[in-house]
Amino acid sequence: MPDDNKPVALIGAIQFNLVKRGTAVATEQTLVIIKPDGLVKSLTGNILSRLSETKLIIIGAKIVRVTEALAKEHYKHLSDKPFFGELVEYIMGDVHNTHRVMALIYQGDGAISKVREIVGDTNPEKANPVSIRGAYGRITTTGVFENVVHASSSAEDAEHEIKLWFKPSEIVGDIYPTKDVVREKVHEKDWA
Ligand code: TYD
């Protein structure tokens, strides 16, 4: 039987607390997009299973038809790159003839780095072979990385991307400040 009064047990407890304090990480949200190549290759279930290893929770999920405006805003930071046009066509689904992506928000401690680690390096040939991009991504003949998934790379990017892709009402929980707006004459479809 272990003796709780032994000094060694106390030292163990103190070390445990220090380790816990030293590794404290913030609760974060991150945007994940399963890109058109991920959907046409039937990788959705596989990707969701891999991401469930993180023990993060999903607080938003939907299938999106990506407009040109959304694609260009999402990849705005690459608008001066020669591959920008092809990148926009790729995320819109023109290349894979599907016009759908799946957008998800994951939440939890260290969410951004945990998801990025499973997703892998931007370049599928440099990515860890067991990461999602390393296992399933490819580089096209024109040099565009078809890397299956997007994952936010910083807290700043995550906030910008989540606000771009989701409305507050599509997310479970209040993650960013909201305001009440009254919209008149909004036309939208309802079930007939
Ligand atoms: P980027 O935002 O730099 O990387 P990440 O998606 O890992 O956050 O790039 C966005 C996408 O642009 C990337 O997923 C694939 C594509 N891309 C290329 O096709 N070639 C490149 O040289 C780079 C940097 C990105």
pLDDT (0 to 100) of residue 21: 54
Mean pLDDT of 74-100: 97
d(CA 84, ligand 1 centre) in Å = 10
132 to 76, 101, 113: CA distances (angstroms) = 24, 16, 14
> What does pTM read for this prediction?
0.88
Range of the domain at 147: 24-166
**Ligand 1 atom index nearest CA of 146:** 15
Instruction: Give the CATH number for residue 56.
Output: 3.30.70.141
Domain annotation covers residue 123 = yes
The 10s digit of each residue's pLDDT in 90-136 is: 999 999 999 999 999 999 999 999 999 999 999 999 999 999 999 99
The first and second tokens of residue 164, run together, are 């771009």
Q: Is the CB of 83 under 6 A from ligand 1?
A: yes
Compute the distance between CA of residue 186 and CA of residue 73 in angstroms, rounded to an integer: 24
Judge whether residue 151 has pLDDT over 50. yes
131 to 50, 60, 122, 134, 171: CA distances (angstroms) = 9, 23, 11, 5, 27
Domain annotation covers residue 112 = yes
In the chain, the number of structural domains is 1
Instruction: List phi, psi (to 5°) of 123.
Output: -85, 115
d(CA 83, ligand 1 centre) in Å = 10
